[in-house]
Amino acid sequence: MKAVIQRVANASVTVDGSVVGSCEKGYLILLGVADGDTEIDAELLCKKIAGLRIFRDENEKMNLSIRDVDGEALVISQFTLLANYRHGNRPDFLGSAKPDEANRLYEYFKSLLAKEIRRVECGIFGADMKVTLTNDGPVTICMDSEVLKKKS
C-alpha cells in the first residue's frame, strides 16, 4: 500500500461539478492499494500517518502531528501510485489490487484514520475526480507499507 501525504491548508475533491469531500488544515492523502495488500498494510500506514510530526510547533520546527494540531484529512483512492513504468512510456497498473479488494482496504484505512483524527472526508472510489489543494510548506511525504513492514 502506498500513500502520498501532503500537508495542506485546505483541499477538496469534486465529482461531476459537486464537492464531495474537503478538509481544512491537515492532510491530503492519496492512497494506492497494491495486489496482495492486507489490513496490516492499512494499519501500519494509518498508525505512521497519524503520528507523523510534520506540523510546525511554536519554534517553527516540524514537531507536531495531525492530532496535535486538531487537523483534518481528505483521502483519495489513487491506483496510479502503483504504476509500473520500467518498460516503454505507457505505464501499466497490473500491480494494483482488483477494484473490489482495493475499495475494501481503502474503506478500512479511512475507518482507522477516523478513529485517530477528528474529521476524515474522501472522494468517490473509481470516479473521475478533480482535486484542489493549497499546499502548506509544501511538505509531501511518500510512504510504502512494505518499508514499514521491514522496520517491524
Measuring CA to CA, which residue among 5, 12, 21, 13 is closest to residue 55? 5
Q: Examine the residue annotation and report whether 78 is marked as an active-site residue of this protein.
A: yes
Close Cβ partners of 63 (under 8 Å, ≥ 6 residues apart): 53, 55, 56, 57
| pTM recorded for the entire structure | 0.95
Q: Examine the residue annotation and report whether 80 is marked as an active-site residue of this protein.
A: yes
All three cell numbers of 9, joined, read 491548508
16 pLDDT band (50/70/90 cuts)? Answer: very high
Model pLDDT, residue 55: 98
Measuring CA to CA, which residue among 129, 139, 122 is closest to residue 6? 139
Q: What is the distance between the alpha carbons of residues 45 and 62, in angstroms, rounded to a whole number? A: 19
Phi, psi for residue 125 in degrees, rounded to 5: -55, 130
Which alpha helices (DSSP H) does 24-144 contain, by range?
39-51, 99-116
Per-residue pLDDT tens digits for 36-92: 999 999 999 999 999 999 999 999 999 999 999 999 999 999 999 999 999 999 999
The catalytic residue among 14, 38, 55, 80 is: 80
The catalytic residue among 6, 55, 79, 109 is: 79
Residue linked to cell 473490489: 100
- Percent over 90 (pLDDT), the chain: 98
Q: Which residue has the higher pLDDT, 8 or 150?
A: 8
Q: What is the distance between the alpha carbons of residues 31 and 126, in angstroms, rounded to a whole number? A: 12
Phi, psi for residue 67 in degrees, rounded to 5: -65, -40
Model pLDDT, residue 150: 87
Model pLDDT, residue 152: 53
Does the pLDDT of residue 151 top 80, yes or no?
no
Per-residue pLDDT tens digits for 111-145: 999 999 999 999 999 999 999 999 999 999 999 99
The catalytic residue among 78, 132, 134, 140 is: 78
